Amino acid sequence: MSAAKEQRSQLNVKIDIVNPADERACAAYARFRQMFGGQGRGEDLWTTDRVRRESYATVLAACWYQRQLTTLEISVHLSAAVPTLRFDLSETCLIITQDDRSRVNLLVERGQPLYDYYVTELHQSREQATVLDLRVASPLGQEPTVDEVRTLFDDLRLPLPRVFTDSDIGKVIEKALHAEDPYRR
């Protein structure tokens, strides 16, 4: 993102995440993550609430970063399907990872059949997902407040659960703007 900002070039990002409003999908993803040790460094066990917080944090981050860089275009796709892999797709390659440092990452270059297969798979997955309209999101401060975040999710028609306390929303904000990259090696 910093390179796009310096060069003032257009950057298009498509994000596919578990729909935080879909409790069944969030619970299934938590169970999947528990199979791989259950937690990251210094983090809580994977629970339905953690999955929801992380998905909400991803949406918040998308809104916040899109406001910071006018040449950034982000689309967020909320899925009821539980992903087991992470795909980072560019025009030249596809990187396939899991949020597990012991797993091998795969690099698939454009022109290889697997690249085209996964492009089709990702497109089809997005066709079945709910797309958020980030343009309706309320403005956010440099360090968003709990009230700003509540308003933002109401605007997106993705309200935070009533059981989320100010502390829960604080965790969402922290994760959205100050999280460690779990894929960094």
Q: Quote the DSSP letter at residue 74.
A: E
Report d(CA 131, CA 183) in Å as an integer. Answer: 25
pLDDT over 60 (residue 54): yes
In the prediction, which pLDDT does 7 show? 63
Q: Quote the DSSP letter at residue 40.
A: -
Report d(CA 40, CA 44) in Å as an integer. Answer: 8
pLDDT over 70 (residue 58): yes
pLDDT over 80 (residue 3): no
CB 115 within 8 A of CB 108: yes
pLDDT over 70 (residue 2): no
In the prediction, which pLDDT does 66 show? 93
Q: Quote the DSSP letter at residue 160.
A: P
pLDDT tens, residue by residue, 143-182: 999 999 999 999 999 999 999 999 999 999 999 999 877 6
Both tokens of 66, joined, read: 């899109």
Query: Kindly report the CA angle at 15 between 31 and 166, in degrees rounded to 5?
Result: 65
pLDDT tens, residue by residue, 18-47: 999 999 999 999 999 898 765 555 567 999
In the prediction, which pLDDT does 61 show? 96
- Distance, CA of 22 to chain centre: 15
Contacts of 4 (CB under 8 A, 6+ apart): 10, 11, 69, 71, 72
Both tokens of 114, joined, read: 């697997």
pLDDT tens, residue by residue, 64-85: 999 888 899 999 999 999 988 8
In the prediction, which pLDDT does 15 show? 95
pLDDT tens, residue by residue, 70-129: 899 999 999 999 988 889 999 999 999 887 777 889 999 999 999 999 999 999 999 999
Phi–psi pair at 93, nearest 5 degrees: -160, 170
